[in-house]
């Protein structure tokens, strides 16, 4: 059929991939950093970024004729970046892209204003967090009332980029995936809650039209089709090719677990954020505050230069770390909900007080915390037969040795790639095929899966489950009743 492009506008850079429409093979790619860093506005306010920086970066990444011959483009962009526009379509102020202590106060205000966490979970499938657009609206209303009054239209980063690529038409669009993270759109009902915008901002605004996964947002004057676009999380899931039975465990400083599910999950505890994906399905997400930060802290404590050294040391220990258990709640924790707690090291005996056992306990504690997050989803009927493990730490031997038996299922470690950009390109191919009449709007193109290592629990399954029981016993003894499915 031809070639399509996907662009991923992350917080720091733009990456563009050009792919074969039929196979998904990456033919060429471009990259450019954003020309400015996010500016902390001072006084603990969310970070500010001029959206023009994203356009400048996009133009640089697309240089050298990268997009020559491309028929359609998909846009993936950082989630939660709020772009407030006035009635003429101009930015009221720089985009709000961060989340910090001040925004946490706004989040707590909003939770109380609607009547608690359960009310929010029922309304839109998530409880306001510091980074979410709905929380930024409350922050804006409280701290910049004049800007709040001028705000007439609300867009997110990918909505704004799509709108710019199309020449700023009257019609503004978004997709289910992006809308589901705003805090004022419900994945369960597929509808906006304008009353929540008013609750946060003080008045209602225009909101972008939510179009279907295979719909086109429009066509540029040059005839280039632009697909709906989506948030980075949804684009990465689409680029990986995950489907029912698959989960993704992402190892950043904090951790996240998401899985494909046919329906939205309202979770009264607020542990599950009920997002929509880029295909018409749902993407429930559970996050932990502590993942790789627990490994980095342990490496520093042991005087090791990097995580590779920590991994090598951990491999000199054995499963169960000679009885050492680390509850890695170093920054408090969200899953379980223990915002003010600290980490715990249990099981200290003379024979366990060795660096290699502490190293092993750090890896097992991190993975058991993520396994707890997985159990939240499994406890709500989400099927998990295969887990994709993402992030640089997924390459560490200690992670790969322990993850399959602790998670209790097959673990897939994809080769590093910009799966968000690839997912955006796949979306573009889908919209292009539908617009030409050759593709079913319910069936995305079947591209080659990600090249990956496949790890099985095998004979280690029973050992891994014993380690989990050891972790669970310490967690329950230290924080009784904190974690309940």
3-state secondary structure 91-146: ECCCEECCCCHHHHHHHHHHHHHHCCHHHHHHHHCCCCCCCCHHHHHHHHHHHCHH
Longest Cα–Cα distance of the chain, Å, equals 73
Residue 271 has what pLDDT?
A: 87
Structure tokens at 131: 């980074």
Q: Which of 101, 83, 456, 421 is nearest to 230 (CA)?
A: 421
Residue 375 has what pLDDT?
A: 96
Output 243 or 43, whichever has higher pLDDT: 243
Helix axes 397-407, 461-478, angle to 10 degrees: 80
pTM for the full predicted model: 0.93
What is the helix (H) or strand (E) element at residue 473, kind and residue range? helix 461-478
Which residue carries 């707690």 as its tokens?
Answer: 341
In angstroms, rounded to a whole number, what is the distance separating the alpha carbons of residues 182 and 133? Answer: 5
Structure tokens at 28: 């060429």
Residue 45 has what pLDDT?
A: 60
Q: Predicted confidence band at 269 (pLDDT cuts at 50, 70, 90)?
A: confident
Q: Which of 173, 241, 234 is nearest to 207 (CA)?
A: 173
Residues 102, 108, 110: CA angle, nearest 5 degrees = 110
Chain CA centroid to CA 319, Å: 30
In angstroms, rounded to a whole number, what is the distance separating the alpha carbons of residues 401 and 462? Answer: 14
How would you classify the pairing of strands 26-33 and 272-276? unpaired
CB atoms near residue 188 (< 10 Å): 17
In angstroms, rounded to a whole number, what is the distance separating the alpha carbons of residues 31 and 61? Answer: 5
Q: Predicted confidence band at 40 (pLDDT cuts at 50, 70, 90)?
A: low
- What tens digit of pLDDT does each residue of 169-189 get? 999 999 999 999 999 999 999
In angstroms, rounded to a whole number, what is the distance separating the alpha carbons of residues 347 and 352? Answer: 8
Checking 321-324 for CB contacts under 8 A at 24+ apart, the result is 321/347, 321/352, 321/357, 321/358, 321/360, 321/361, 321/364, 322/347, 322/349, 322/351, 322/352, 322/354, 322/357, 323/347, 323/349, 323/352, 323/470, 324/348, 324/352, 324/357, 324/358, 324/360, 324/361
Structure tokens at 316: 């000199």
- What tens digit of pLDDT does each residue of 270-306 get? 789 999 999 999 999 999 999 999 999 999 999 999 9
Let me know: does 33 contact 53? Beta carbons within 8 Å: no
- What tens digit of pLDDT does each residue of 58-115 get? 999 999 999 999 999 999 999 999 999 999 999 999 999 977 677 889 999 999 999 9
In angstroms, rounded to a whole number, what is the distance separating the alpha carbons of residues 56 and 67? Answer: 16
Flag whether pLDDT at 38 surpasses 70. no
Which residue carries 């951990």 as its tokens?
Answer: 314
Let me know: does 47 contact 112? Beta carbons within 8 Å: no
What average pLDDT does the chain have? 94
In angstroms, rounded to a whole number, what is the distance separating the alpha carbons of residues 461 and 467? Answer: 10
Q: Which of 180, 112, 103, 101 is nearest to 138 (CA)?
A: 103
Q: Span 325-330, mean pLDDT?
A: 98
Query: In the chain, count of helices (H) and strands (E)?
Result: 15, 25
- What tens digit of pLDDT does each residue of 104-157 get? 899 999 999 999 989 999 999 999 988 899 999 999 999 999 999 999 999 999
Residue 98 has what pLDDT?
A: 79
């Amino acid at each position: 059929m031809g070639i399509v492009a996907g662009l991923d506008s992350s917080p720091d850079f733009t990456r563009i991939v050009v792919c074969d429409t039929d196979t998904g093979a990456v033919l060429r790619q471009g990259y450019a950093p954003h020309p400015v860093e996010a500016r902390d506005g001072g006084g603990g306010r969310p970070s500010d970024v001029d959206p023009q920086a994203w356009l400048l970066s996009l133009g640089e990444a697309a240089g050298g004729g990268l997009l020559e011959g491309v028929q359609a483009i998909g846009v993936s962009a950082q989630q939660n970046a709020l772009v407030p526009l006035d009635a003429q379509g101009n930015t009221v102020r720089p985009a709000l892209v961060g989340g910090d202590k001040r925004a946490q106060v706004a989040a707590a205000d909003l939770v109380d204003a609607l009547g608690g966490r359960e009310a929010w979970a029922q309304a839109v499938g998530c409880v306001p967090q510091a980074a979410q657009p709905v929380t930024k609206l409350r922050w804006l209303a409280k701290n910049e009332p004049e800007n709040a009054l001028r705000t007439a239209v609300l867009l997110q980063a990918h909505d704004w980029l799509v709108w710019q690529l199309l020449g700023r038409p009257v019609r503004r669009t978004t997709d289910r995936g992006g809308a589901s993270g705003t805090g004022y759109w419900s994945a369960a009902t597929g509808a906006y809650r304008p009353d929540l915008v008013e609750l946060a901002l003080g008045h209602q605004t225009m909101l972008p039209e939510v179009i279907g996964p295979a719909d086109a947002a429009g066509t540029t004057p040059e005839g280039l089709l632009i697909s709906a676009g989506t948030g980075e999380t949804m684009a990465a899931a689409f680029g990986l090719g995950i489907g029912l039975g698959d989960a993704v465990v992402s190892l950043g400083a904090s951790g996240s677990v998401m899985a494909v599910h046919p329906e939205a999950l309202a979770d009264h505890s607020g542990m599950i954020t009920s997002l929509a994906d880029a295909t018409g399905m749902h993407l429930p997400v559970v996050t932990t505050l502590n993942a790789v930060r627990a490994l980095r802290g342990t490496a520093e404590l042991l005087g090791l230069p990097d995580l590779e050294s920590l991994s090598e040391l951990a491999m000199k220990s054995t499963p169960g770390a000679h009885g050492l258990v680390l509850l890695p709640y170093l920054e408090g924790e969200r899953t379980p909900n223990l915002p003010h707690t600290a980490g715990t090291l249990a099981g200290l005996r003379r024979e366990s007080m060795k660096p290699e056992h502490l190293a092993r306990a750090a890896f097992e504690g991190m993975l058991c915390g993520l396994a707890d997050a997985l159990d939240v989803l499994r406890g709500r009927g989400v099927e998990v037969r295969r887990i994709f493990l993402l992030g640089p730490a997924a390459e560490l031997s200690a992670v790969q040795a322990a993850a399959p038996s602790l998670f209790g299922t097959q673990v897939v470690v994809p080769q590093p790639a910009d799966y968000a950009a690839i997912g955006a390109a796949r979306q573009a191919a889908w919209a292009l095929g539908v617009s030409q009449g050759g593709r079913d709007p319910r069936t995305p193109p079947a591209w080659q899966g990600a090249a990956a290592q496949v790890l099985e629990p095998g004979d280690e399954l029973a050992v891994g489950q014993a380690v989990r029981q050891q972790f669970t016993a310490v967690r329950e003894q230290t924080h009784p009743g904190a974690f309940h499915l």
